[in-house]
Amino acid sequence: MPDFRTLDDLDDLTGKVALVRCDLNVPVRDGDIGDVTRLRSAIPTLTELSEKGAKVLVLSHFGRPKGKDAMLSLSPISSALEKVLGREVIFITETYGDAAAQMVGLMKAGDIACLENTRFHDGETKNDPELAKKIAALGDIFVSDAFSAAHRAHVSTVGVAELLPAYAGRAMERELSALDAALGTPERPVAAVVGGAKVSTKLDVLNNLVKKVDHLIIGGGMANTFLAAKGVDVGASLCEHDLTDTALRILSAAEAANCTVHLPYDVVCAREFAANAEHRTANVHEVAKDEMILDIGPAAVEALGDVLKTCRTLVWNGPLGAFELAPFDTATVALARTAAALTNDGGLTSVAGGGDTVAALNHAGVADDFSFVSTAGGAFLEWMEGKPLPGVEALKR
C-alpha cells in the first residue's frame, strides 16, 4: 500500500471541487505546441474525477513570467488540452478570488476548467501561505498529477496540498510506483546506466547510485573522466581532469558497497566532432593525442548487454556516446534495444528518464518498450540523487 492517497480513495465527488496540479508547461514555438505528451498524461486523472462528478479545476505554471504576461497565458494551452481531451475545457482568467469563485459556481458536476498561470503571482515560487489559502479556497480536495514539478516547493505543488485533503493523480501514482520498483524496493540485481557529458552535473547521482545498485555502467563524456582517473590517456576527448580525484573517490565508494563499475575498454574515436566524421575503433589505451572518444566500442557494448541479461532491474539516465551524431549513436541504440528486448521478454523492469535519455530512446525506437519512461527532467534527476521531493512529501499520509 503506497504511503499516499490515490484516486482509489475517492468515491462520489458530486458537488465537490477538485484542484488538480497538472504540468501544462509544454514547448511552444510561433504559437504552435511542439509536443502534447504532458497534456495527454493528464487525461486519465481529469476524466476519472469528472466521471466521479467533481468540478475539476486544473492548476499549472507555464514558462517563467515576470508578473502577468499575456504571452504566457494558459488560455491557448487550455484550448490544446480541450482538443486532446476531446471535450470542453472552460478557461478561467484568474487563479483565485471572487471572479474565479463565481465561474466555479456556474460550473456543473463533471465540468473541467483551467485556471490562469500560477506563476502570474509572485508568491507561487516562494510557497507563500497567503496565496496558498486563496487558491485552496476554491477547492475541496487537491490532486497532484505533476511529478515533473514535484522537486519544487511551490504553492501549487506543496502549499495547497498542506491545506486540503491531498491525493496522487494517476500519472503521479504511476510515476511513483515505477520509481519505487526501480530504486525503492527493486528486484535484484539492479543495473544503472549513467551517461552524459560531465561528471560535475551528476556527482550526487553517482554518489547515491553506488550505494543502491549492483552494476553501474558509465558512458558519455563522463566515462572519459573516470578513465583519466585510472591513468588512461584520453587524448583530446571531453574530460574534466580537475575531477579525477572525485572520480577515484566514487570508484572506491562503489568498491566498498560491492557495486561493480563498468567503464568501456574499447572506444570509437575521431579527430573531429561531426556527423559521419572519419573514425576508428580502438582499445582505450590506444587513443591518439589528437583523437576524441565519441562512443563506446562494440566489444564493450556486447559485454554490457551480457551484464543486463543477469539483472532484474535497470535505471537509465543519459546516452553512452555523442548519440545526436551518426555513427556515434551506435552504442546507445544497441544497448537500449537489448534492454527493450529483455523488458519485452519479462525478465527486466526498465525505468528511464531525463530529456536526452527520452530523445535517445525515441531515436532507438524503443521508448514504448521500456517499463516506464519519465519525461520529468529535474525531478527525475533529484530522485536519482536520493533527495526527498517536496511535492511528493506533501502527499504522504
Catalytically annotated residues: 38, 198, 355, 378
pLDDT at 356: 84
Query: Do 103 and 145 share a domain, yes or no?
Result: yes
Say if residue 195 is in the same domain as residue 118.
Answer: no
Same domain, 190 and 106: no
**pLDDT per residue over 47-62, tens digit each?**
999 999 999 999 999 9
The 8-class DSSP code of residue 375 comes to -
Residue 258, φ and ψ in degrees, nearest 5:
60, 35
The answer as to whether 391 is a domain residue is no
Q: Is residue 392 part of a domain?
A: no
- 397 assigned to some structural domain: no
Could you tell me if 194 and 164 lie in one domain? Answer: no
Are 117 and 199 members of one domain?
A: no
Q: Residue 161 and residue 394: Cα distance in Å, rounded?
A: 6
Task: Point out the annotated binding site.
Answer: 23-25, 38, 61-64, 119, 152, 202, 324, 354-357
Asked if residue 247 lies in contact with residue 199, where contact means CB atoms within 8 angstroms, the answer is yes
Are 28 and 72 spatial neighbours (Cβ–Cβ below 8 Å)?
no
What is the DSSP secondary-structure string of 93-106?
A: S-SSSHHHHHHHHH
Entry pTM: 0.89
Name the band, by pLDDT with cuts 50, 70 and 90, for residue 2: low
Q: Are residues 87 and 224 in the same domain?
A: no
Residue set of the binding site for ATP: 202, 324, 354-357
Q: Which residues are annotated as a binding site for substrate?
A: 23-25, 38, 61-64, 119, 152
Note the pLDDT of residue 397. Answer: 60
- Identify whether residues 139 and 212 lie together within a single domain: no
Would residue 2 count as lying in a domain?
Answer: no
Domain boundary among 110, 141, 171: 171
69-104 burial, b for 16+ CB within 10 Å, e for fewer? eeebbbeebbebbbebbeeebbbbeebbeeebeebb
| Residue 196, domain CATH | 3.40.50.1260
Considering the domain boundaries, does residue 251 fall inside one? yes
pLDDT of 230-284, one tens digit each? 999 999 999 999 999 999 999 999 999 999 999 999 999 999 999 999 999 999 9
Q: Is 395 inside any structural domain?
A: no
Residue 303 lies in a domain: yes
Domain containing residue 19: 7-171
For residues 148 and 221, membership in a common domain is answered with no
Nine-digit cell string for 346: 519479462
Q: Which residues pair with 6 in a beta bridge?
A: 168
CB atoms closer than 10 angstroms to residue 158: 23
The per-residue pLDDT for range 124-141, each reduced to its tens digit, is 999 999 999 999 999 999
Q: How many domains does the chain have?
A: 2
Give the closest residue to 139 by CA, choosing from 106, 163, 123, 171. Answer: 163
